[in-house]
């Protein structure tokens, strides 16, 4: 279980998402073409069958007055049930290919669902939120859980030194940098994104390390 946790934490989701989309496309397209080729005899038979059926129905419709035709039409209708017996039996290869294809197509949504859960697990761990809770929410609500997570995360403060998300505090839990910024002019606590101090109205200069200094303007 610990190995899995480490793996999820090390996952690069941008790369994984691209690989996943490409792989899914290849499986769906190639699998579809291959299955179509393996079943080309049956597909042709189905088309011919459909055309014959349509023709016979038209005969019945247009020759409504002709009893003989009607009876023939009636005869035909009795055998109009879709009967698999009149199709050529698929080869063993075709059966294996189609079952594998159906199985892989079922795996794609499953893999997508698990990927979303893994992303929630990693993202929640990085923000010091309850990873178990978010993974379970991902299991049941998937994308809705991701949206809810992004909303909750946007309410957290971000360390300007290392980018870690966290609940408001004095120091960053990851790198120890100060999370509070004081106006250099009046010493009041200010939001690091502010342009002007809300207490004394001085312009706030932001240096590279994210520390704020009040300046006269």
Residues at the contact surface with Zn ion, assessed by CB under 5 A:
159, 161-162, 164, 172, 174-175, 177, 183, 185-186, 197, 199-200
- Residue nearer to Zn ion on the CB measure, 125 or 174: 174
- Residue nearer to Zn ion on the CB measure, 94 or 204: 204
- Residue nearer to Zn ion on the CB measure, 156 or 177: 177
Min dist CB 214 to Zn ion, Å, is 5
- Residue nearer to Zn ion on the CB measure, 63 or 185: 185
Instruction: Output phi, psi for 205, to 5 deg.
Output: -95, 135
Two tokens, residue 184 = 């250099």
Q: Give the residue carrying structure tokens 């003989």.
A: 68
- Residue nearer to Zn ion on the CB measure, 47 or 175: 175
């Amino acid at each position: 279980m610990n190995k899995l946790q480490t793996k999820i934490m090390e996952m690069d989701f941008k790369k994984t998402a691209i690989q996943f989309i490409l792989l899914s496309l290849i499986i769906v397209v190639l699998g579809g073409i291959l299955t179509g080729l393996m079943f080309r005899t049956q597909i042709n038979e189905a088309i011919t069958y459909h055309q014959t059926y349509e023709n016979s129905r038209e005969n019945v419709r247009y020759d409504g007055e002709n009893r003989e035709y009607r009876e023939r039409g009636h005869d035909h209708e009795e055998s109009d049930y879709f009967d698999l017996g009149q199709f050529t039996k698929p080869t063993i290869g075709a059966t294996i290919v189609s079952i594998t294809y159906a199985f892989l197509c079922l795996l794609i949504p499953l893999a997508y669902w698990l990927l979303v859960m893994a992303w929630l697990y990693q993202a929640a761990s990085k923000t010091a939120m309850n990873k178990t809770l978010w993974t379970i929410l991902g299991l049941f609500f998937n994308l809705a859980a991701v949206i809810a997570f992004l909303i909750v995360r946007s309410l957290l403060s971000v360390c300007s030194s290392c980018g870690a998300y966290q609940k408001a505090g004095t120091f960053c839990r990851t790198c120890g940098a100060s999370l509070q910024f004081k106006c250099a002019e009046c010493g009041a606590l200010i939001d690091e994104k502010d342009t002007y101090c809300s207490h004394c109205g001085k312009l706030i200069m932001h240096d590279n390390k994210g520390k704020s200094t009040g300046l006269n303007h």
